[in-house]
Amino acid sequence: MKPTLQDVANAVGVSRSTVSNAYSRPDQLSAALRAKILDAARRLGYPGPDPTARSLRRGFVGAIGVLFTSELSYAFTDPFAVRFLAGVGEVAERHGASLLLVPLPRERDRARAAVDNAAVDGFCVYCVGDEEHVLGAIRDRGLPLVTTAPEAAAPADRFVGIDERAAARSVAAHVAGLGHRRVALLGDTVLPDAPPGPLRLAGPGDAPRPTTHGRLAGFADAFAAAGVPWPAITVVNAAGNSRAAAAAAIAPVLAGDDPPTAVLACSDVLALGVLDAAGPHPGLSVTGFDDIAEAAAAGLTTVRQPAEEKGRLAAALLLEPPADPADGHLLLPTDLVVRTSTGPVPRS
């Protein structure tokens, strides 16, 4: 049985609070008494109070929880996520705070447990699926939050993000202006547990992830304005946000009898996977989203958004909250970056 704080108190003949002070408030004890307590603790094998429990009791943990998709590796392998987390970490470091990465299982009960059990002072909600459920769980804990999907935020929440729909509309309008009418839209895990390949969606709102349905809605707006209704657009699901998953999902679509002349992807990583699969289709136009480092080298037309700045502002809203709640709602600018991956519809 592990020795406890009470065992140390009994061995020295002092109260539990005196033993606790030896660790957390040494200025309250004489040097001799503190040394006696620590000697007894070492002799008994008592490691000291649980730092998490001690932090929670005083109401401060010194950590930000970053909630994101179910795969922990995403935080280290997705180029945009890496840059976003670098921005969060920069501000956290300035405040002496640490980061707790919390991947969220898809099951609601398990996701709720992950939120409830995280020992943090507040949450940054980044790229999660069931956003409203997650935000509700955080609000129930009474902890501050900042979300990067503004449309899921309540008026009292802090958020920093972009107008996903307007940004997606800009790149789709560019493609439509080049004459493309037979198009495919590619996203990752557009619907939970959906197989890779073409999907049937009644509309963009069927995609539960706010970022995804915002981008799909923007694509749809631009093509509707060009006379292409939603049912005439092919929506393709990739099993994950990776080049391999994108290539696997889009390959059968490109090999079909009536392939698209343009593919608009919801991320640069997916778009690069489309380019990997597009060898036999040299006239295919492809667009991405985010403008990661690899996009420029590939000549990828995309939407640029400020990844590191997004992370810095998200952390600042948690650690340096504005006095006026209205100042906690930040929309960042985006830019359409046109490169060589898009061009006019090839002649038959």
pLDDT at residue number 60: 67
Mean pLDDT of 7-36: 87
pLDDT at residue number 59: 54
At residue 13, the 3 state secondary structure works out as coil
pLDDT at residue number 137: 86
CA 239/CA 235 separation, integer angstroms: 13
Q: Kindly tell me if the per-residue pLDDT of 116 is higher than 60.
A: yes
Q: How many helices (H) and strands (E) would you count in the chain?
A: 14, 13
Q: Distances from the Cα of 94 to the Cαs of 32, 85, 316, 320, in angstroms? A: 36, 14, 10, 11
Over the chain, what is the mean pLDDT?
89
Q: Which residue has the higher pLDDT, 113 or 176?
A: 176
Residue 282 CB neighbours (<10 A): 7
State the pLDDT confidence band at 94, using cuts at 50, 70 and 90: very high
pLDDT at residue number 210: 85
pLDDT at residue number 225: 98
Both tokens of 194, joined, read 């959906």
Greatest alpha-carbon span in the chain: 93
Mean pLDDT of 148-174: 89
pLDDT at residue number 3: 84
Q: Distances from the Cα of 183 to the Cαs of 108, 258, 267, in angstroms? A: 34, 10, 16
Place domain 63-162+307-331 in its CATH homologous superfamily.
Response regulator (3.40.50.2300)
Both tokens of 73, joined, read 């590796």
Mean pLDDT of 35-52: 78
pTM of the model: 0.81
Q: Distances from the Cα of 235 to the Cαs of 98, 168, 192, 227, in angstroms? A: 40, 15, 15, 17
CA 200/CA 195 separation, integer angstroms: 12
H or E stretch covering 312: helix 307-319
Burial tier of 348 (Cβ tally within 10 Å: 0-12, 13-18, 19+)? exposed
Q: Kindly tell me if the per-residue pLDDT of 203 is higher than 80.
A: yes
Query: Position of tokens 């704080």?
Result: 5
State the pLDDT confidence band at 50, using cuts at 50, 70 and 90: low
State in Å, rounded, how far the first CA of the chain is from the last one.
79
Q: DSSP for 118-173?
A: ---SEEEE-S-SSHHHHHHHHHHHT--EEES-GGG--TTSEEEE--HHHHHHHHHH
**51-91 residue pLDDT tens:** 444 444 445 678 999 998 878 888 898 999 999 999 999 99
DSSP 244: H
As annotated, the residues of the chain forming the CATH 3.40.50.2300 domain(s) are: 63-162+307-331, 164-304
3-state secondary structure 51-84: HHHHHHHCCCCCEEEEEECCCCCHHHHCHHHHHH
Q: Which residue has the higher pLDDT, 50 or 242?
A: 242
CA 75/CA 90 separation, integer angstroms: 16
Q: Which residue has the higher pLDDT, 134 or 315?
A: 315
Poorest-confidence range of 78-92, 117-131, 229-243, 304-318? 117-131
Both tokens of 80, joined, read 């945009």
Name which CATH class applies to 164-304: alpha beta
High-pLDDT (> 90) share of the chain, % = 60
Candidates 13, 81, 3; CA nearest to 41 is 3
The C-alpha angle with vertex 61 and arms to 58 and 65, in degrees rounded to 5, equals 145
Mean pLDDT of 318-322: 88
